């Protein structure tokens, strides 16, 4: 998504225009899965940068961000308050690590959607409760739950 980026926070390191990529000041690559995936802005971009910088990975594949179109009504993606992080097949992360990094970064609620036998698995992380995520998905109170399909 062609948006002005906050160069104080990240720089554009895209090599294939179909797959935008950004580098944080600490050197972590935020690799988007598509030009459809919108880079968050403002506090959510700050949270994303903190998340990837504390993830322990050099590159984090992000599959959802600030998208105004295509999501369900009231989606936190459309409100610039959510990200999707590609699942364990792409990002070698554990629920514990994701919870720890996400909480430090400012995300408050999350869930892992596990589409068995596919590449669609992902962590959904958002700021604030709502749109399907409530107290039981609070990152502060509970381990990240997995919803299997």
Partner 1 sequence: MLRALFFTLLTLIATPACSECALTDTSYANSGGGETSTTLMLHTNNTFTLMHKTWQPGHYDKQKKSISKGNWSCNHEQLTLKINDNALTAKITTVGSNPLGINEKAKALSFGPNTITTLDYLANEILYPKSLVSD
Q: Which residues bind partner 1 (CB under 8 A)?
A: 1-2, 15-16, 18-19, 21, 31, 33-37, 59, 61, 63-64, 69-72, 75, 77, 82, 84, 86-87, 90, 111, 113, 115, 117-122, 124, 126, 131-133, 137, 145, 147, 149
Q: Which is nearer to partner 1, 8 or 59 (CB)?
A: 59
What residues have CB less than 8 Å from 117, skipping those under 6 apart?
none
Q: From CA 87, how far away is CA 85, in angstroms rounded?
A: 6
Cβ 8 to partner 1, closest distance in Å?
25
Using alpha carbons, select from 136, 120, 128 the residue that is nearest to residue 85: 120
What would the two tokens of residue 112 be? 């892992």
Q: φ and ψ at 100, to 5 degrees?
A: -60, -50
Q: Which is nearer to partner 1, 8 or 35 (CB)?
A: 35
Q: Which is nearer to partner 1, 101 or 131 (CB)?
A: 131
């Amino acid at each position: 998504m062609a948006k002005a980026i906050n160069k104080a926070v990240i720089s554009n390191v895209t090599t294939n225009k179909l797959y935008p990529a950004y580098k944080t000041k600490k050197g972590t690559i935020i690799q988007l899965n598509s030009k459809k995936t919108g880079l968050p802005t403002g506090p959510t971009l700050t949270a994303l940068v903190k998340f990837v910088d504390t993830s322990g990975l050099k590159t984090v594949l992000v599959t959802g961000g600030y998208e105004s179109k295509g999501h369900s009504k009231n989606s936190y993606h459309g409100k610039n308050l959510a990200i999707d992080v590609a699942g364990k097949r792409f990002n070698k992360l554990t629920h514990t690590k994701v919870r720890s990094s996400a909480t430090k970064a400012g995300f408050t609620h999350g869930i892992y959607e596990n589409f068995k036998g596919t590449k669609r698995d992902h962590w959904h992380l958002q700021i604030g409760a709502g749109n399907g995520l409530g107290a039981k998905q609070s990152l502060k109170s509970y381990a990240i739950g997995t919803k299997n399909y």
